[in-house]
Amino acid sequence: MLKGIPSILSPELLKVLAEMGHSDRLVIADGNFPAESIGQHAKVIRCDGHGIPELLDAILQLFPLDHYVEHPVQLMEVMPGDPVETPVWDVYKEILSRHDSHGAQIVGTLERFEFYEEAKKAYAIIATGEKALYANILLQKGVL
């Protein structure tokens, strides 16, 4: 155990977060995301028993976001015609506002298949048990 480290962050996840450098990307994926196939060239970390909001909150305590890009946080857009609501996005924006002075303005969206292509370039993908649809979030690491 370490002081000041959220207990939800496993040793494996802490190691990956520490290995990442400026501009590296991290995907926190919902339970429907094809983490293993998209992450063939990434480190895939299983956090199946956890939801994305609790992991995002813990990660942002340690993880600086990249303010050299307009949107260091990207969400997967809902497919046109898909009758899905995304209230989890509001939760993310509230969490981001607590950890980053730029708040919700740093959040962008990517079309679903564009999100998949960007996720293939990620350093790591965290596979969660999140049940909310279109809950995937991509973070780009900044500097301290």
Smallest CA-to-CA distance from 37 within 133, 136, 109, 117 is with: 117
Task: Flag whether pLDDT at 88 surpasses 80.
Answer: yes
Catalytic residue among 22, 68, 90, 102: 22
Question: What residues does each domain of the chain span?
Answer: 24-140
Q: What mean pLDDT comes out for the span 19-26?
A: 98
Angle of helix 52-59 relative to helix 87-99, nearest 10 degrees, comes to 10
> Would you call 41 a catalytic residue per the annotation?
no
Strands (E), the chain: 25-29, 43-47, 73-76, 107-110, 124-128, 137-140
Is residue 35 within a helix (H) or strand (E), and if so which, with residue range? helix 35-38
DSSP label of 7: T
Catalytic residue among 67, 71, 99, 116: 116
Q: What mean pLDDT comes out for the span 50-56?
A: 98
Task: Flag whether pLDDT at 1 surpasses 80.
Answer: no
pLDDT of residue 110: 98
> Would you call 123 a catalytic residue per the annotation?
no
Confidence of residue 72 (pLDDT cuts 50, 70, 90): very high
Mean pLDDT of the residues in the chain? 97
pLDDT of residue 117: 98
Task: Flag whether pLDDT at 138 surpasses 90.
Answer: yes
Q: What mean pLDDT comes out for the span 53-60?
A: 98
> Would you call 22 a catalytic residue per the annotation?
yes
pLDDT of residue 8: 97
Task: Flag whether pLDDT at 27 surpasses 90.
Answer: yes
Q: What mean pLDDT comes out for the span 116-129?
A: 98
Q: What mean pLDDT comes out for the span 81-109?
A: 96
Task: Flag whether pLDDT at 86 surpasses 90.
Answer: yes
- Tell me which fold the domain 24-140 belongs to: RbsD-like fold (3.40.1650)
Phi, psi of 97 (to 5 degrees): -65, -30
Catalytic residue among 66, 92, 100, 134: 66
